[in-house]
């Protein structure tokens, strides 16, 4: 055994758990992956040299669904990295441990894995894992921009309209930006919900009440600002591709719809930016 490779945590609500652990560890999920053999969706976060794996059941007969039904959410397993999983499995068998499979299975995060029954380890499910050197074909989301967009939409269950996606793609390669005067347009990694972006801002203006005045604020995301939050500009996203995505100019707890799409907003803004202010 080389070291603890990760700790697996069984969760009910994948999106909520990802957000919570991102806050807790102050780092982003770096990989989301589905493991068909276990019928689970997994997310990995790294904290220093340690990893946390969040696991959500994808069907009722998934081991994670059974675990949660029996014990509730919580620590599901501890995984140890091994040099050669077959050798280690043979050693443990000789020591009298019962392994949950005779052969290593394909696990998440490019690993060959095998489990030891918790009855034989003081109630803890133990995973052995060996890194596979070659990247196998899997639903891995290494996070380039396209994949970040996919993950964002999947996690928020909201669709970013094509015109805004095109803008994020342009700014990802640094070739274009609509920044001018005191306006700053965000890149995709700064694209956050109104609450996340300004919901705690108590300067002038004070934004703390906007979450009460703006209906369904959790679907509104800030893409630009004027002079450090004097005004911010947010777009309303929907669950499906929409022909209308309202653009709000927001100042403190006041707001106004200034355009009905990102494209329309940019046209107004380019013509005379004061047209898009409250």
Contacts with Zn ion by CB under 5 A lie at 8, 53, 79, 127
Ranked by CB distance to Zn ion, the top (closest) residue is 8
Minimum CB distance to Zn ion smaller for 67 or for 226: 67
Which residues are paired to 180 by β-bridges?
183
Q: In this structure, what token pair is assigned to residue 135? A: 């990247």
Q: Which is nearer to Zn ion, 79 or 99 (CB)?
A: 79
Q: How far apart are CA 168 and CA 146, in angstroms?
A: 10
Query: Cis peptide leading into 121, omega within 30 of 0?
Result: no
For the bound state, the minimum distance from the C-beta of residue 156 to Zn ion, rounded and expressed in Å, comes to 26
CB of 8 to Zn ion, least distance (A): 4
Q: What are the φ/ψ torsions at residue 3 (nearest 5 degrees)?
A: -175, 170
Using CA atoms, how far apart are residues 255 and 247, in angstroms rounded to an integer? 10
CB nearer to Zn ion: give 7 or 170: 7
Q: How many CB atoms lie within 10 A of CB 200?
A: 10
C-beta of 113: minimal distance to Zn ion in Å?
7
Name the residue among 78, 52, 76, 53 with its Cα closest to residue 65. Answer: 76
Q: Could you give the angle at the alpha carbon of 226 between the alpha carbons of 222 and 231, nearest 5°?
A: 65
How distant is the alpha carbon of residue 32 from its chain centre? 8
User: What phi and psi, each to the nearest 5 degrees, are found at residue 223?
Assistant: -115, -10
Please identify, using beta-carbon distances, which residue of 31 and 217 lies nearer to Zn ion: 31
Q: Minimum CB separation from Zn ion for residue 23, in Å?
A: 22
Cβ-based nearer residue to Zn ion, 107 or 205: 107
Residue 77 CB, nearest distance to Zn ion (Å)?
Answer: 6
């Amino acid at each position: 055994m080389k070291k603890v490779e990760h700790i697996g945590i069984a969760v009910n609500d994948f999106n909520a758990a990802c957000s919570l652990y991102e806050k807790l560890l102050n780092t982003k999920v770096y990989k989301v992956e589905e493991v068909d053999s276990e019928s689970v969706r997994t997310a990995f976060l790294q904290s220093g040299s340690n990893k946390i794996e969040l696991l959500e059941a994808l069907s009722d007969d998934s081991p994670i669904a059974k675990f949660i039904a029996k014990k509730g959410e919580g620590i599901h397993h501890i995984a140890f990295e091994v040099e050669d999983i077959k050798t280690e499995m043979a050693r443990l068998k000789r020591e009298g441990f019962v392994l949950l499979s005779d052969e290593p299975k394909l696990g998440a995060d490019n690993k060959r894995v095998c489990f030891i029954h918790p009855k034989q380890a003081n109630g803890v499910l133990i995973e052995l894992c060996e890194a596979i050197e070659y990247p196998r074909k899997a639903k891995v989301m290494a996070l380039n921009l396209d994949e970040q967009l996919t993950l964002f939409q999947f996690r928020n269950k909201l669709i970013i309209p094509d015109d805004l996606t095109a803008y994020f793609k342009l700014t990802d390669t640094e070739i274009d930006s609509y920044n001018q005067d005191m306006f700053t347009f965000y890149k995709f990694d700064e694209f956050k919900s109104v609450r996340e972006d300004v919901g705690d801002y108590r300067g002038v203006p004070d934004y703390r009440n906007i979450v009460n005045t703006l209906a369904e604020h959790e679907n509104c995301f800030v893409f630009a600002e004027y002079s450090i939050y004097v005004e911010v500009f947010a777009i309303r996203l929907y669950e499906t591709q929409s022909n209308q995505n309202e653009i709000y100019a927001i100042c403190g707890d006041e707001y106004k719809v200034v355009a009905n799409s990102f494209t329309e907003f940019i046209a107004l803004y380019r013509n005379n930016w004061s047209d898009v202010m409250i």
